[in-house]
Amino acid sequence: MRAPAWLPMPVRRTLRVLRRYFRVSARRLERFLAPARREWRRSLQLRVVALTLVASSLLVGAFGFFVAERSAKILLNRAQDEVQSSMAGKVKYAASQLSVHRQARDPRLQATVNTTVDVLADDDPAESGGSVVSLRADQFTTEIDAVTSAKMDTSELITADLIRAVSRDGKVAEQVRTAQVDGRQTKFLVYGSPVPTSFGHVELYYLVPLTTEDSAANQIRTTVLVTGLALVILLGVVAGLVTRLVVLPVRDAARTAQRLSAGLLDQRMKVDGEDDLALLAASFNQMAANLQRQIVRLEEMSRLQRRFTSDVSHELRTPLTTVRMAADLIFSEREDFDPAVARSAELLQAELDRFESLLTDLLEISRFDAGFAALDAEHADLVPIVQRVADRLTGLADRVGVTLELRVPEAPVIAEIDPRRIERVLRNLVGNAVEHGEGRPVQITLACDEAAVAVTVRDHGIGLKPGEERLVFNRFWRADPSRARQTGGTGLGLSISAEDARLHGGWLEAWGAPGEGAQFRLTLPVRSGDRLVAAPLTLIPRDRVPAIDSSAVNGRLSDETAEVI
């Protein structure tokens, strides 16, 4: 977010510096917290222990706060009861001593007040704790000076509010105040009470330090805090141990499952005891054993199937050769036969071609399945290969009314490939495009960059339904089995093409939309063994996406090089 233009330049510069500082700080903090977040996501035990610690800390903290506050209140109530009882006796004694004086101007009254305070202080059982007794007259009885048993300033303890409460209501009042005594803060429980006399209003104040109660309350809080921390740590340890008992078998199951997925089918979990985790381990082992048996059985069936396909393909070669020789002889003499017999000879020749193509495809598939397919790579120019494929399929395209539009660069496109396999892939792609082209043009485009070459074959026929772009490379799969086919394919062409592309370390991909045709893209690395990252041509046709600069697709491809065949 940019700073508003109306701000002064120094302010905007400062804001930019602050934004940059915060961004850098946020990135550093993110890098610092990344290991913790990663461990939090990966470790179930860490999450359980952390949540247990947080929940137990909240519960123990709330309980400890309640216990500490309740204990402090109980101690204060007990001190209040004791002080209130002592206060009643002191008021009674002071009233009896002062009642002998009938008027405030009695010269002996001040001495009696001093003596009474001294006696009340000496009789105080809590004197060693620092209790203070203060006897004073109200503002209308000025003949009596206030007397305090201790040499200390009581103005912070005996406040104006307390004095007003005692003098106005004539009742006992109390408050808890804190004052500085001997250089430290001390909490006092202050009681004030009127003393009945015959000459005026006298007030007695009793100040008791709550040092003992505060110390006891602090000890209780410390005990509760230490006990709570110990309890939280103990709960964390217990949660960690309990979680470990559950997490370890789960981790063992995860590791065993990973080994099974890697192909180590003999891996099993260790079964200890007869509890639920042991039942889980036993069930997992049973599942793994069943899975191993099924995989072994399927592998055996697949091996037998591959062997059967290979054996049948090879065994059929001999009778096919004999039949082919006889069929070629009959086909060469067909002009001497009746029209019906001549037509039968032509059909026999065509079906033998299809049968031989099927055997060739089956043999190629069996080599791929057995892992015997080898790449005979060499540096070759793809331009003549693409042109040769287009030339060979021109006759078929003319019969079905399809025009082949060839777009290749003027310069050679050299790549390390197996020319025979790449020509077979392109022949399959172009043949399928012609077959499904619905009489519309088919575009064949070749492009390259520094790392890859790509060939796209675009038709405008029936297209592919959503999801079928992944099925077209399955063996014997057809988008519409009911359609009349012109080329007599075996249903293995695209599957073999995909294997050829994979053998080169390349990609063979498909795109299609119903009624909008389809496009297949073959992408190969320029150097054999290199890893593909991107393709020079897009998979989705350019007529389906917004127009882009052709130089962004391929700097060496120009529309002037398009050739219509």
Q: Kindly state the average pLDDT of the residues 339-362.
A: 80
Do 487 and 546 share a domain, yes or no? yes
- Residue 426: band (very low, low, confident or very high) from pLDDT cuts 50, 70, 90: very high
% of the chain residues with pLDDT over 70? 88
pLDDT of residue 144: 74
Query: In the predicted model, is pLDDT for residue 41 greater than 90?
Result: no
Report if residue 260 sits inside a domain. no
Q: Are 365 and 309 in contact (CB under 8 A)?
A: yes
Instruction: Give me the mean pLDDT over the 432-449 stretch.
Output: 90
pLDDT exceeds cutoff 70 at 313: no
> What confidence score (pLDDT) does residue 127 get?
44
pLDDT at 444 over 90: yes
Q: Do 518 and 407 lie in a common domain?
A: yes
- Whether residues 350 and 365 share a domain: the answer is yes
When mean pLDDT is compared across 118-122, 425-429, 435-439, the lowest value belongs to 118-122
Secondary structure string (H, E, C) spanning 440-486 = CCEEEEEEECCCEEEEEEEECCCCCCCCHHHCCCCCCCCCCCCCCCC
Are 408 and 365 in the same domain?
A: no
Cα distance between residue 126 and residue 112, in whole Å: 23
Instruction: Give the model's pLDDT for residue 379.
Output: 92
pLDDT per residue over 448-480, tens digit each? 998 899 999 999 988 888 888 888 888 777 665
pLDDT tens column, 528-539: 888 888 899 999
Q: Per the structure block, which two tokens stand in for 190? A: 């202050």
Say which CATH number the domain at 475 has: 3.30.565.10
| pLDDT at residue 83 greater than cutoff 80 | yes
Angle between helices 109-122 and 44-98 (to 10 degrees): 140
What was the pLDDT predicted at 196?
84
Q: Is 420 exposed, middle or buried (0-12, 13-18, 19+ CB in 10 A)?
A: exposed
Q: Are residues 352 and 394 in the same domain?
A: no
> What confidence category does residue 550 fall into, taking pLDDT thresholds of 50, 70 and 90?
very low
User: What H or E segment, with its residue span, contains residue 353?
Assistant: helix 339-370
Residues in the chain: 565
Q: Is residue 6 part of a domain?
A: no
Q: What distance, in Å, lies between the first and last C-alpha atoms of the chain?
A: 57
Average pLDDT score over residue span 474-492: 59
CATH number at residue 90: 3.30.450.20
Give the pLDDT band (50/70/90) at residue 562: very low
Q: Which long-range contacts (CB under 8 A, 24 or more apart) does 34-39 make?
A: none
Contact between residue 189 and residue 79 where contact means Cβ atoms under 8 Å apart: yes
Mean pLDDT of the chain: 81
Q: Please give the tally of structural domains in the chain.
A: 3
Q: Report yes or no on 4 lying in a domain.
A: no
pTM score > 0.75 for this model? no
Among residues 541, 477, 550, which one has the least CA distance to residue 509?
Answer: 541
Tell me the CATH number at 319. Answer: 1.10.287.130
Residue 180 in 3-state DSSP? strand
Which of 7-11, 26-30, 399-403, 479-483 has maximum average pLDDT?
Answer: 399-403
pLDDT of residue 558: 35
Do both 98 and 144 map to the same domain? yes
- State whether 195 and 208 are in the same domain: yes
One domain for residues 293 and 369: yes
Q: Are residues 458 and 333 part of one domain? A: no
Structure tokens at 178: 């804190």
Mean pLDDT (whole number) for 253-271: 81
Residue 382 shares a structural domain with residue 522:
yes
Range of the domain at 410: 378-564
Instruction: Give the residue from 355, 373, 391 where a domain finishes.
Output: 373
Phi, psi dihedral angles at 108 (to 5 degrees): -90, -5
